[in-house]
Amino acid sequence: MEATMPQPEHHPDVSTGDPAGTSALRRRLPRLRLVPAEHPARQAPKPLGIANDGPLQGIALRVADARHHIHVQGVTGVGKSTWLANHVLAEAGAGRGVVLLDCQGDLARNVLDRLPASAGDRLVILDPAETEAPPAWNVLAPLGGPSGASGRDGETAQRDPETARRDGETARRESETGREWAAENVVGVFRHLYAAWWGPRMDDVLRAACLTLVRRPGSTLADVVSVLTRPEFRRAILADYGEPEGLDGFWENYDALSAGQRNQLAGPVLSRLRSVLSRQFARDLLGTARSTINLTDVLDGGILIARLPKGEIGEHAAQLVGSLLLSGLWSAATRRAALAPDDRCDATIVVDECHNFLHMPIGVEDALAEARGYRLSLVLAHQHLAQLPADVREAVDANARNKIFFTVSPNDATKLVRHVAPYFDDRDLARRPAFEVLARTVHHGHDVPPFTLATQPLPPPVPGRAEQLRAAARRRTGLTAEQRMRATRRRHVGTAPGA
């Protein structure tokens, strides 16, 4: 595949209204170079495996049918990770946008060892092992517009003054809406991730902090701690940017509390934030003012490998980063509503151990139902049904219509058998050989009878490939410690943040 892939398009970087002082950084960090949207490789079917009943032949899923999503379930050690790695490699090889969320770490490494060298032009890697120049993603910064939504080169210069005025007003409203969306995304992720402890006061505190910070360019999630604990910090922001509409004197009431009362009110939010931001990986990723990651580009044909091993960065950091990322990708996908359906490039998000990351502001049932219209396919993998909350379990059961079942537990087999009966029974689900799958898929929008197939073995790793790709991703999206320190110093002396 590598030898026949087309030359990627170069997407020149576009100014998005960042504060002064970032022009050199923008030049150094070009956007991803994507395979042309019209290239026929993007419509290549998605391999599922090899038929093991009858003639040996590959079985694949049409791109349009994959938009009905894929549910992958199997106990540990049965070949699930091999299937997922092959799926990511196939998506990358076809030039489609693909994201992998991996909370254990080995799956991401296996993919990086086998991606083509050309993938480096469109690759983003999130990995705690990257300490030289990690990428940055500011979750409080509004998303840019969908690719293809901006005008042609020179079009702005040809507009009459009234059109320019209207467009400027529209851009201002969209920017304000984008900031509010960014704040609500963060609040929604926290609410769902920490639902067992969350209450209306925690919701109120975090929303006020985020809505206040998004008005100040360059504010990050790390600044939530400062705005809640440093009176001079929040007063300076309120003096410069005012109190957001809808807060109704929240900060005046907050300042009227005693220090102990403020600690009691904000403590639950602060403790959860600090448990995550105490990790260097999370601080580097979420605590830098300017993002070096463009999620719209990723969905339009990029490759994002998020290696989030809980054993290295902690469970809270892994779940929060992954959930924020999934929510950000969803926001980028919904902005495709501004594009004609045929201009929305197909993309796939592969979520291993998905129960760790399905904490989006939107319900999983709604996300699965709506994603198809945005040309977004979700691959949700896990081991046991009990890992999924009841509402998520029902949503996946009903709306992820393509089923890939490896060996499952006998108890789960009794619940999943309805997807494969009367052709197979619960014993077929609970006693499958390793690397063999019982599948039920969609073909031209219709469910087809279930069938069995064998997982294709992974291609051999390419020596040195992962290091080569990491270097390419680092050059495109990395920020060194020195660059981050310069940005921090600019902020401390009152210069508009620009990192």
Domain ranges of the chain: 17-136+292-476, 160-281
pLDDT above 90 as % of the chain:
78
Percent of the chain with pLDDT over 70: 85
Burial 8-45 (b: 16+ CB within 10 A, else e): bbebeeeebebbebbeebbeebebbbbbebebeebebb
CA distance 301 to 303: 7
Structure tokens that stand for 416 in this block: 């999943």
Tell me the per-residue pLDDT of 146-188, one tens digit each, with 9 for 90 and over. 433 333 333 333 456 655 555 455 445 456 678 899 999 999 9
Over residues 327-341, the mean pLDDT reads 96
pLDDT at 434: 95
Note if the bond before 268 is cis, omega within 30 degrees.
Answer: no
Residue 62's nearest CA partner among 360, 377, 297, 463 is: 377
Q: Which of 32-41, 190-199, 457-466 has the lowest mean pLDDT?
A: 32-41
Q: Residue 498: is its pLDDT beyond 60?
A: no
Whole-number mean pLDDT of the chain? 88
pLDDT beyond 90 at 311: yes
Structure tokens at 317: 């950091």
Say if residue 124's pLDDT is above 80: yes
pLDDT of the residue at 361: 93
pLDDT band at 89 (very low <50, low <70, confident <90, very high): very high
Distance between CA atoms of residues 432 and 442, nearest Å? 22
pLDDT of residue 175: 60
Q: Is the pLDDT of residue 324 over 70?
A: yes
Which is more confident, 270 or 290? 270
* pLDDT of the residue at 16: 36
Instruction: Quote the CA–CA distance of 200 and 216 in Å, as a whole number.
Output: 25
Residue 331's pLDDT is what? 95
460-470 mean pLDDT: 98
CATH superfamily of 17-136+292-476: P-loop containing nucleotide triphosphate hydrolases (3.40.50.300)
Do residues 319 and 356 make contact, with C-beta atoms less than 8 angstroms apart?
yes
pLDDT of residue 142: 86
pLDDT level of residue 27 (50, 70, 90 thresholds) = very low
**How confident is the model at residue 339, as a pLDDT?**
94
pLDDT for residue 475: 94
Q: Which of 168-177, 313-322, 450-459 has the lowest mean pLDDT?
A: 168-177
Q: Decide: helix, strand or coil at residue 376.
A: strand
pLDDT exceeds 70 at position 385 = yes
Instruction: Mean pLDDT check: name the lowest of 4-18, 136-150, 275-289.
Output: 4-18
pLDDT class for 31, splitting at 50, 70, 90?
A: confident
The owner of tokens 């040309």 is 375
pLDDT per residue as tens digits for the range 339-371: 999 999 999 999 999 999 999 999 999 999 999
User: pLDDT of 55-86, one tens digit each?
Assistant: 778 999 999 999 999 999 999 999 999 999 99
pLDDT beyond 70 at 495: no
